[in-house]
């Protein structure tokens, strides 16, 4: 490990601009110095270095953590989803469409992309997807791409030019606007703009509401409570406010002018749901529950007549001939 560190300090490569093969070799060599050589005890099999991060190979990845991270993002209703699937594998064994379909059942915030069309497993499956004949389909449709292979990438091939040439000779029956990165870029811009138009007003309102909450919290903490006396005064104010709220709740005083001005919004907070506002009004809640109990007893209760019986004669006692009535 020390030798690798020293080698990394002195690492230098003179690379001519455009020489991508030499650049790739330099990155691999630097990765070996950073992660450690194969003979190093601290080296980790399967790790690789890219873009200032160390990535682990799939067999070392905690699949559960990755799945939860992806699901957490896809479940957020404001997030736009770009679903990328490969045509190289049968669609029945691909998990991504099912995961995205569960998160976005209507497909209203999803755009699909199909890659590896030059090595498609089944052309009919691709055409069925493009025609939205699947059990689940993204609202913004599917788009076809042809990415570089490993050797093409190593040789520094022009991705867009190769893709344009490929689609000019293949998949000619597919609509031109659904093929190639050149048409995907404006489609993505339109897709994201539509999502912004839908969610931005709600997001602005939420931010404004959150700012109001934070300002209220700052207002409550505007006075420093460093000394013991200041802390006692602060606790006394909180206790007094709590007492006012409890008294108003029990007495049914929920309107304006029934307490200190800074407590007026407690019972009539516009940000509270209807149920939450109702739950704060204790007197009204107790009255409603009492009325509910009374109506339930009248509707579902039973009346029973009890007559005292003489133990010796087993007949109603003359002395205790009164009737008792009990409701249960």
For 182-236, the pLDDT digits (tens) are: 899 999 999 999 888 888 888 888 898 889 888 877 776 666 666 788 778 888 8
Rounded Cα distance between 131 and 210, Å, is: 44
Task: Scan for tokens 């990845």, then name that residue.
Answer: 61
Rounded Cα distance between 254 and 14, Å, is: 78
Radius of gyration of the chain (CA): 36
Cα torsion 94, 96, 99, 103: sign: negative
**Among 269, 267, 301, 263, residue whose Cα is nearest residue 285:** 267
Q: What CA dihedral angle connects 99, 104, 110 and 116, to 10 degrees?
A: 20
> What pLDDT score was predicted for residue 276?
74
Supply 89's token pair: 């594998």
> What pLDDT score was predicted for residue 61?
52
Average pLDDT over the chain reads 76
Q: Quick count: other Cβ atoms within 10 Å of Cβ 233?
A: 13
> What pLDDT score was predicted for residue 311?
60
Are residues 170 and 118 in contact, defined by beta-carbon separation less than 8 angstroms? yes
User: Residue 136 gets which letter from DSSP?
Assistant: S
| Strand 53-55, strand 48-50: pairing | antiparallel
**Among 212, 102, 82, residue whose Cα is nearest residue 145:** 82
Phi, psi of 55 (to 5 degrees): -105, 145
Helix residue spans in the chain (DSSP H): 2-9, 20-35, 63-75, 96-103, 123-130, 150-154, 159-169, 181-220, 228-251, 274-280, 282-300
| Strand 110-115, strand 81-86: pairing | parallel
> What pLDDT score was predicted for residue 252?
78
Rounded Cα distance between 113 and 215, Å, is: 44
Q: Is the pTM of this model over 0.85?
A: no
**Among 76, 139, 133, 83, residue whose Cα is nearest residue 103:** 76
User: Residue 48 gets which letter from DSSP?
Assistant: E
Task: Scan for tokens 């870029």, then name that residue.
Answer: 185
User: Residue 106 gets which letter from DSSP?
Assistant: T
What digits encode the pLDDT tens for the residues 106-127? 888 999 999 988 888 888 888 8
**Among 300, 320, 324, 322, residue whose Cα is nearest residue 312:** 320
- Three-state SS at 84: strand
Least confident range of 99-108, 143-152, 214-223, 255-264? 255-264
pLDDT bracket for residue 258 (50, 70, 90): low
């Amino acid at each position: 490990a020390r030798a690798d560190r020293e080698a990394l300090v002195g690492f230098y490569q003179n690379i001519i601009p455009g020489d991508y093969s030499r650049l790739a070799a330099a990155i691999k060599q630097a990765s070996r110095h950073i992660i450690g050589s194969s003979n190093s005890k601290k080296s980790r099999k399967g790790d690789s270095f890219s873009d200032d991060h160390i990535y682990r190979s799939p067999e070392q990845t905690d699949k559960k953590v990755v799945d939860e991270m992806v699901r957490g993002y896809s479940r957020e209703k404001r997030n736009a989803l770009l679903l990328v699937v490969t045509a190289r594998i049968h669609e029945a064994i691909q998990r991504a469409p099912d995961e995205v379909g569960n998160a976005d059942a209507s497909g209203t915030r999803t755009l699909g992309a199909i890659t590896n069309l030059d090595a498609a497993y089944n052309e009919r499956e691709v055409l069925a997807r493009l025609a939205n004949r699947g059990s689940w389909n993204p609202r913004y449709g599917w788009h076809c791409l042809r990415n570089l292979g490993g050797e093409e990438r190593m040789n520094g091939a022009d991705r867009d030019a190769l893709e344009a040439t490929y689609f000019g000779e293949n998949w000619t029956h597919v609509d031109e606007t659904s093929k190639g990165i050149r048409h995907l870029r404006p489609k993505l811009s339109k897709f994201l703009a539509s999502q912004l138009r839908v969610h931005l007003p709600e997001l602005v309102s939420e931010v404004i509401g959150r700012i109001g909450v934070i300002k209220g919290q700052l207002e409550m903490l505007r006075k420093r409570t460093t000394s013991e006396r200041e802390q006692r005064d602060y606790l006394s104010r909180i206790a007094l406010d709590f007492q006012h709220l409890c008294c108003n709740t029990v007495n049914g005083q929920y309107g304006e002018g029934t307490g200190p001005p800074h407590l007026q919004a407690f019972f009539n907070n516009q940000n509270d749901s209807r149920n939450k506002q109702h739950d704060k009004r204790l007197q009204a809640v107790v009255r409603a529950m009492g009325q509910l109990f009374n109506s339930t007893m009248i509707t579902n209760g039973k009346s029973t007549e009890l007559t005292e019986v003489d133990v010796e004669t087993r007949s109603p006692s003359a002395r205790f001939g009164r009737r008792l009535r009990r409701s249960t």
